[in-house]
Structure 1
Amino acid sequence: MPFEAAPEASDEDLLMHYAAGDAHAARVLTARLAPGVYRCAVRMLGDAAEAEDVTQDAMLRLWRQAPNWEHGRAQPSTWLYRVASNLCLDRLRRKTTQPWPEGFDPASQAPSTQDRMEQAERVTALKQALGALPERQRQAVILRHIEGLTNPEVAAVMELSVEAVESLTTRGRRGLKGLLAGARDKLGFGDG
């Protein structure tokens, strides 16, 4: 008989519980990991529907992997981000259009119309600048600075060394700075 994993259990423990037949563990792990994977996919693809597909596909691959999961070898979140990032990169390579189509505008929580318009301008400028970066730099910047993964986590996701990730993110930030240089003050990006 399956046992219910506690919501505070580690990702790896939840995955092991799911492999042992605990559906509750799968719900807890999905609620914990899927939103971040979805946000990352939206940022990489610029398309919410495609991001949902990628998130679902990545989660299904995690569930299929659960019975064979080697405890202590990798974190499920790192593995999941790697799978989702690779799925996104595959989709981007198949596309012949811009990675972020015209009209894409993530929902804003700004309280006023003016704030929403300013935020939309910043989002548009940032997505265009991110879209102009080489794929690997874009992926590293999104994972590190937008999703908040640590350099070692990004390295695991991208299957690179930490030094290579640091180099990619440095070049990506430098590229973004150059691409946004003319509009920094207008857009409120400051000196960062």
Structure 2
Amino acid sequence: MSPSRPLSPAALATASDARLVALTRAGDERAFAAIVARYQGPLARHCRRFLSSATADDALQQTFINAHGALTDPRATLPLALKPWLHRIARNAALNIARDPQLEFGPVPDDLLGRESEPEDVFARREWFDAFVEAIGALPDSQRQVIVRHAFNGDSHEAIAADLGMTAGAIRQLAYRARGTLRAAA
């Protein structure tokens, strides 16, 4: 097959992730559409683990916007494996939407907290969880960003420091203060 001849839709649908990434990087929008078609369902379910259906759709859309931007940016590093990379982007998009102070969240669903035999246990866990979420929201923005990226996203202190233009020691200090505040609130 010659490189100048575009792949058919059937060939794109069966192409490997690496091939689709390479084609997208080369400017083939149909290759990116094949990525969207392949991962839209799994990523939508992934976003719904964190958000309601309406806001999960927003997170899914943001996921593909971010992925497209990264895949078409010639300076960006290509992902080693597309599936976990897309799931990471989806998780980050969902968490960013969940942190939006303008969103009104309903009560935490009972099944998220687990099943307890006594209603008092469920009530106590629910109160603790609500207080913990409120405490995270009350943290200063810099502390909240560090604790969420490190604890929930798994980012290293060094990576966070590089992104924020700070030293790793300063990031560790922010994380230490955030954990202390959260412990006191719990």
CA offset digits 1:139-171 (Å, max 9, x no partner): 221221133333344446x53445133222111
- Most deviating of 27-36 and 164-173: 27-36
**From 127, 134, 137, the counterpart of 2:140:** 134
The gaps in structure 2 that reach 5 residues or longer are 1-6
- Would the aligned equivalents of 2:47 and 2:94 in 1 still touch at CA under 8 Å? no
Q: Which amino acid aligns with 1:112?
A: E
Taking structure 2 as the reference length, what is the TM-score of the superposition? 0.58
Taking structure 1 as the reference length, what is the TM-score of the superposition? 0.57
- Aligned equivalent of 1:4: 15
- Aligned equivalent of 1:66: 71
- Aligned equivalent of 1:104: 107
1:25 aligns with 2:28: no
CA displacement at 1:124 relative to structure 2? 0.7
- Would the aligned equivalents of 1:108 and 1:116 in 2 still touch at CA under 8 Å? no
Structure-2 separation of matches of 1:133 and 1:91: 14
**From 127, 151, 154, the counterpart of 1:148:** 154
CA displacement at 1:110 relative to structure 2? 1.9
- Would the aligned equivalents of 1:16 and 1:67 in 2 still touch at CA under 8 Å? no
CA displacement at 1:105 relative to structure 2? 0.6
- Aligned equivalent of 1:168: 174
User: Which contiguous aligned blocks of 4+ residues in structure 1 show a shift greater than 6 angstroms?
Assistant: none
Distance 1:168 1:17, change over 3 A: farther
The gaps in structure 1 that reach 5 residues or longer are 181-192
- Most deviating of 16-25 and 124-133: 16-25
Q: CA RMSD in A?
A: 4.4
Aligned residues with identical type, % of pairs: 18
- Would the aligned equivalents of 1:14 and 1:29 in 2 still touch at CA under 8 Å? no
- Most deviating of 166-175 and 16-25: 16-25
Structure-2 separation of matches of 1:53 and 1:32: 12
State the aligned residue count. Answer: 162
Structure-1 separation of matches of 2:48 and 2:23: 21
Larger Rg over CA atoms = 2
**From 51, 57, 65, the counterpart of 2:62:** 57
- Would the aligned equivalents of 2:36 and 2:64 in 1 still touch at CA under 8 Å? no
